[in-house]
Structure 1
Amino acid sequence: MSKFVILSGCSGDGKSTLLAELAKRGFAVAEDPGRRIVKQQLESAGEALPWVNMAAFAHSAIRMALQDLVDAQKRSRLTFFDRGLVDAVAALHHATGEAISSDLIAANRYHEEVFMAPPWHEIYHADPERRHGLESAIAEYERLMNIYPALGYKVRVLPKLAVGQRADYILRHLPQELLR
């Protein structure tokens, strides 16, 4: 059983806040590769930005997600990921039409259950690292809701609750042996 749990879903729906809550509770976490890449690219005037060169951005996200998995394997304990390899490969597929590499996905599996944060209009906001609107975020969410099950993952949609309650919800729905 994989100890790598994905939090995915709609942009701007509280995944990063939820990840911070899980970290506060002592769990290992891997922050969203996309947000880290955007921050790095903005600081260095790079072009691997989703609004400049989506393919370069997605390729960078794939590399970073793979490195996050390597780093998590070294810890050998439960790790929560704010997005991951599947999200990055899905972004590349959307940007370029490039086929989703089932071999790459199969060789780098996460826990079978993915926690998907749905669109949440009341908390969505753009920022310097998230420039797209809610409509784009919802379209991405819908793509991910199709891609994860097609790759053999079970999707559990997170309820729209306060962050602590969302964290409790995740922990209640994971196998106890994973939490030890």
Structure 2
Amino acid sequence: MLNFQKRIVITGGPGSGKSTLIDALTQRGYLCSVEAGRSIIQDQISIGGNALPWGDRIAFSELMLCWEIRSWHAANGCHELCFFDRGIPDVAGYLSLCRFPVPAHVEKAINNFRYAGTVFIAPPWKEIYVQDSERKQSIEEAEQTYWTLSKTYQAYGYQLIEIPRIPADERADFIISQVSQKDFQ
């Protein structure tokens, strides 16, 4: 089974360049997960479903949880670095942001399916922030999401490294150099 230290989360608010960074890591040959939220929104819209952040938020959070657990399991057997575009604690952050309690089964999933102890977090970045059909939040909501996720990951025992606001290839270099250090956990 894969050592959990090789499961590395990249999180942050919407529109902070996470998916572009994940794409840069994928192009370098690293195994990377796809973000749950955007994919779920696209699927729900295509089928006329209501498990959406502007619809049934609880159903949306449950689909995100299932997606993230599946992504965690998909990395089993991989002996290389695996990067995750968000992780299971993001579900708790989302629920907190929506002012919903975090159910016991989400807490249990966060504790059972651990990632590397250090998580990379992308800060809000007004210069690249763009709203679209799936990202309807304002930049202020994106900033609040960042702060909520920071608190959430720390509450679950993760240390955070903020990703600098630099081009995606340089961000990828930064992450790889951090992960390559002996004391990276």
TM-score, scaled to structure 1: 0.93
Q: Distance in 2 between matches of 1:68 and 1:169?
A: 24
Q: CA-to-partner distance for each residue in 1:109-162, whole Å, 9 max, x for gaps?
A: 011111000000000001111111111111111101111111110100000001
- How do 1:29-40 and structure 2 match up within 5 A? 29-40=32-43
Match of 2:126 in 1: 121
Is contact 2:96–2:102 with CA below 8 Å preserved after alignment?
yes
| Percent pairwise identity | 34
Structure 2: stretches of 5+ with no match in the other structure: none
Q: Distance in 1 between matches of 2:67 and 2:118?
A: 22
Q: Tell me by how many angstroms 1:98 deviates.
A: 2.0
Match of 1:140 in 2: 145
- How do 1:2-151 and structure 2 match up within 5 A? 2-95=5-98, 97-99=100-102, 101=104, 102-151=107-156
Q: Distance in 2 between matches of 1:99 and 1:31?
A: 23
**How many residues are aligned here?**
179
Q: CA-to-partner distance for each residue in 1:67-87, whole Å, 9 max, x for gaps?
A: 001111143431111112110
TM-score, scaled to structure 2: 0.90
Output the aligned Cα RMSD.
1.9
Match of 1:166 in 2: 171
* Letter of the structure 2 residue corresponding to residue 44 of structure 1: I
After superposing on structure 2, the runs of 4+ consecutive aligned residues of structure 1 that deviate more than 4 Å are none
The 10-residue stretch of structure 1 (151-160 or 126-135) with the greater mean CA deviation from structure 2? 126-135
